[in-house]
Structure 1
Amino acid sequence: MIRQIRLKRQLAAILLTLGALLVGGYSLLAAHYFKLGMDSTMVGAMEQAVHQHIRQRAKGTAEPDLGAFTVTSTWQQQPRQIRSLLPQPPQQETRLVTSRETKPNGRRGRLVFAMRFPTDEGTLFVSHTLTRQQMSSLVHRTIRDNLTSLLLISLSTAVALALAIWLLLRQLSKPVARLGRWARDLESANLQDPLPDFRYPELNELASLVRDSLSSQQDSLEREHRFLRHSSHELRTPISVMRSGIELIRSLPPEQAPAARSVLASIIDRLDRASLNMKHLTETLLWLSRDEPIDLPTRPIALDQLVQDIVEEHRYLLRDKDVALSVTTSPATLEQSEVALRMVLGNLIRNAFQHTWAGDVTLRQQGKTVFIDNLQRADGQEDGSGDSQDADHDAPAGHPDTVDDLGFGLGLELTAQLTERLGWHYHNRPVPGGHYVQLTLVDAAEPHG
């Protein structure tokens, strides 16, 4: 799993790293130039010592007094302590060579400087030995003050840079956070309100894109809801006409009703079941399409008896199929909407019966939980997806007038939406050769989250 890093933290880390590199680099550069300044001072002092040596020799002084500097014509004439730290003479002319003594206890000792100078009289070697005891308090204080000033400047620069980065990130994060809050609070009621100003053109453009995207989705949902409402309302009239006509035919005396003939009786039965399925489907779609669904009327329902009734209503789907049906129920009563229960349980049971051609269907009701297993045998016809178009196939085999019923084409998708809106616990798991379904109902009379 890739660990996610907040943009603010990553940006702060990058800026702080760059700031640290800049401060560190300039501090090292300042220290380097400080050392170069000290070396330049030493080179100047050595050059003066060489010139003084030449002048005193010209005056005939045998051993010129040059203070702490030693000037000789050959390297071997230099003091032994100089040659012990610098065994080889300086090779390049006017190039300062340094070496520091390290004592046995690890502490630093004297510091040796040496140079080779070209003169009209030939090459001269000049050296100087510097110890802590030889340095004056003024030099000590000057070096210490310079290093302290360099350290304070570096620390002050680092603190100022960190403060500037913090203020910058704070100024950047405020409009970004405000954009996030604005996007989370967007809804259909305030979607058309004027866009707030988020200070930066890029954030304003992003806010415009977010609102346009949500507006497009809102328009699409509105069109779908209107289509569902209008189509469901329009379908109720022809469905009512069909069911009224079927009931009228069945109410006719036997000698006048064409249902007396076996072929017409089978067709009327199929029309009756198809119209009933269409009625249930339109009621489901109408209920789901409501933005604020009304509370369905509830009453005490014997769940075991309702399961048995729905099984009997759909038993025709197993006609002429090699399917073993097992139904086990136990007494259970709950306060719930019968319409909702019939929609969900009818859809699940119908789906199990519909898509099992040769196999086993097991229905088990325990308390408020219903288990449905449908397993297809290997020699049976493949059942396909639970969301595909359903068919009855209940007419006699080979009958020329076989007509498919209109089933729940939306199938399990509608069931999932219904149970989610009703707050029921629904689980549908595909298994080899079929499906395993578990539905746990919620009693409307009991408080639940």
Structure 2
Amino acid sequence: MTTVRVRLTLIYSGLFLLTSVVLLVIVNTLLRLSLHSRIARFPGPSAGEAPQAPAAPGPGAAGAQSPLSELAQDVIHYQWDMSGLAIAVLTLVSVAVGWVIAGRTLRPLHRITATAQRLSLSTLHERIALSGPRDELKELADTFDAMLDRLQRSVEGQRRFIANASHELRTPLAVQRTAIEIGLPEDVGEIRGKLLLHNHRIETLIDALLVLSQAEHGLRKRDPVAFHEVVRLVLAETDTDEVTVTARIEPFVVDGDPVLLNRLVTNLVDNAVRYNHLGGAVEVTLAGGVLTVRNTGPEVPAERLDDLFAPFRRLHTTRRQGSGLGLSIVASIATAHGAVVRARPNPGGGLEAAVTFPAGP
């Protein structure tokens, strides 16, 4: 696929070659006509000059030409040869000059493209700030900067809303939980336990939604994180009494947010434990920058894999019902860290989820 710079260079050189050829044909044609016209107006031999003997008849007599006509033909041929050579050389020069001019013309577009590719929700403060004459490219860059200003204000407003919502939602739930624990005695039967269970589920759902929103808004700051230590910590804190967990962990460092990375691993492991059989197995592997969590469990149809990463989608009912946001949060956190999430069903049941991180620092 040819680039715009190549196409502009070809257009510049093509136009130069076309105009040069047209000019060459016109000039040489006019020169030939002018020379023959002037030769035809030359006077014949003077009165004192002996006339030339007529040429002997023969095969070449009809094509014989005067010395002036032969000189004119030589001049025209020489003109064609030199003009063609000059056009060939200048065409090569025009290609080089067109390449340089096209590069300088497209330089602002390259700057706009580089800025757009570098931008994310965590780098919305960057601007193109293109300087130069007020032309179409300057207008395009200024329009792009104005759009970034509006987008940055919108993202900052959403972040403030998330922070306020987190405080406003968690406070009444904490008060409600305290009221249930203190106000209801333990001998009221199952009512107290159900109220506490639903209170905990609402808190978990709100926390998951806030984490999902935070991950989708990108990372404000990146720090080197010992990802292998995060995985070990999550495995040590996970309740795995109902399944067997095996792990193979190699050292790996990720540039990112340690809290979100912890949540990514927690959700993957918790999902593998929750959607499993009693006495099943979970295998966690971290090698070569790829975190793989594989489990046994119910069969997962291949056509339903995309549903796993959609919010509030559940393929199976388990003993411990989740919020339906676990893998959605995993996908959002992975995207914020430049990682790729893939999943595939295991033969005989269960799922293998793999998160591939970019090379560490």
Measure, in 1, the Cα distance between the counterparts of 2:357 and 2:88: 65
Q: Which of 219, 229, 234 is residue 168 of structure 2 equivalent to?
A: 234
Measure, in 1, the Cα distance between the counterparts of 2:108 and 2:126: 16
Query: 3-state SS of the aligned residue for 2:307?
Result: coil
Query: 3-state SS of the aligned residue for 1:389?
Result: coil
Would you say 1:431 and 2:345 are equivalent positions? yes
RMSD: 5.4
Q: Which of 257, 261, 264 is residue 344 of structure 1 equivalent to?
A: 264
Unaligned runs of 5+ in 1: 50-64, 71-78, 83-109, 114-128, 316-325, 396-403
Q: Which of 3, 11, 18 is residue 8 of structure 2 equivalent to?
A: 11
Measure, in 1, the Cα distance between the counterparts of 2:72 and 2:95: 34
Change (3 A) 1:341 1:146: closer
Change (3 A) 1:429 1:378: closer
What residue in structure 2 maps to residue 117 of structure 1?
Answer: none
Q: How many residues align?
A: 340
Are the counterparts in 1 of residues 39 and 69 from structure 2 also a CA contact under 8 Å? no
State the AA in 2 paired with 1:437.
A
Q: Deviations over 1:203-236 (max 9, x none)?
A: 2332233223333433332333233222223223
Q: Deviations over 1:379-405 (max 9, x none)?
A: 9xx89822232679678xxxxxxxx97
Q: Deviations over 1:343-392 (max 9, x none)?
A: 22332244456667x9996411357755224664499xx89822232679
Identity percentage over the alignment? 16
Would you say 1:148 and 2:78 are equivalent positions? yes
Would you say 1:180 and 2:97 are equivalent positions? no
State the AA in 2 paired with 1:112.
A
Are the counterparts in 2 of residues 19 and 161 from structure 1 also a CA contact under 8 Å? yes
Under a length normalisation based on structure 2, what TM-score does the superposition of the two structures give? 0.65
Structure-to-structure mapping, 1:29-108, within 5 angstroms: 29-33=26-30, 67-68=53-54, 79=57, 81-82=58-59
Are the counterparts in 2 of residues 373 and 435 from structure 1 also a CA contact under 8 Å? yes
What residue in structure 1 maps to residue 244 of structure 2?
Answer: 327
Are the counterparts in 2 of residues 23 and 158 from structure 1 also a CA contact under 8 Å? no
Q: Which of 323, 329, 340 is residue 407 of structure 1 equivalent to?
A: 323
Are the counterparts in 2 of residues 360 and 376 from structure 1 also a CA contact under 8 Å? no
State the AA in 1 paired with 2:342.
N
State the AA in 2 paired with 1:343.
R
Measure, in 2, the Cα distance between the counterparts of 1:419 and 1:201: 41
Structure-to-structure mapping, 1:120-135, within 5 angstroms: 129-130=64-65
Measure, in 1, the Cα distance between the counterparts of 2:91 and 2:231: 72
Are the counterparts in 1 of residues 5 and 99 from structure 2 also a CA contact under 8 Å? yes
Measure, in 2, the Cα distance between the counterparts of 1:294 and 1:431: 33
Measure, in 2, the Cα distance between the counterparts of 1:312 and 1:207: 55
Measure, in 2, the Cα distance between the counterparts of 1:19 and 1:302: 64
What residue in structure 2 maps to residue 364 of structure 1?
Answer: 283
Specify which structure has the higher proportion of strand.
1
What residue in structure 2 maps to residue 292 of structure 1?
Answer: 220
Query: 3-state SS of the aligned residue for 1:365?
Result: strand
Measure, in 2, the Cα distance between the counterparts of 1:207 and 1:440: 35
Change (3 A) 1:177 1:377: closer
Query: 3-state SS of the aligned residue for 1:235?
Result: helix
Query: 3-state SS of the aligned residue for 1:385?
Result: helix
Measure, in 2, the Cα distance between the counterparts of 1:223 and 1:371: 36
Change (3 A) 1:264 1:333: farther
Would you say 1:203 and 2:123 are equivalent positions? no
Query: 3-state SS of the aligned residue for 1:10?
Result: helix
Specify which structure has the higher proportion of helix.
2
Q: Which of 157, 162, 166 is residue 223 of structure 1 equivalent to?
A: 157
Q: Deviations over 1:308-339 (max 9, x none)?
A: 753449x7xxxxxxxxxx53325879899996
State the AA in 1 paired with 2:311.
S
Query: 3-state SS of the aligned residue for 1:407?
Result: coil
Change (3 A) 1:352 1:68: farther
Query: 3-state SS of the aligned residue for 2:159?
Result: helix
Higher relative contact order (CA 8 A, sep 6+): 2
Larger radius of gyration: 1
Measure, in 1, the Cα distance between the counterparts of 2:306 and 2:76: 86
State the AA in 1 paired with 2:220.
E
Are the counterparts in 1 of residues 170 and 203 from structure 2 also a CA contact under 8 Å? no
Would you say 1:23 and 2:23 are equivalent positions? no
Would you say 1:418 and 2:333 are equivalent positions? yes
Shift of residue 294, structure 1, vs aligned partner:
8.0
Are the counterparts in 2 of residues 302 and 333 from structure 1 also a CA contact under 8 Å? no
Are the counterparts in 1 of residues 282 and 295 from structure 2 also a CA contact under 8 Å? yes
What residue in structure 1 maps to residue 199 of structure 2?
Answer: 271
Shift of residue 261, structure 1, vs aligned partner:
1.0
Are the counterparts in 1 of residues 296 and 351 from structure 2 also a CA contact under 8 Å? yes
Change (3 A) 1:332 1:30: closer
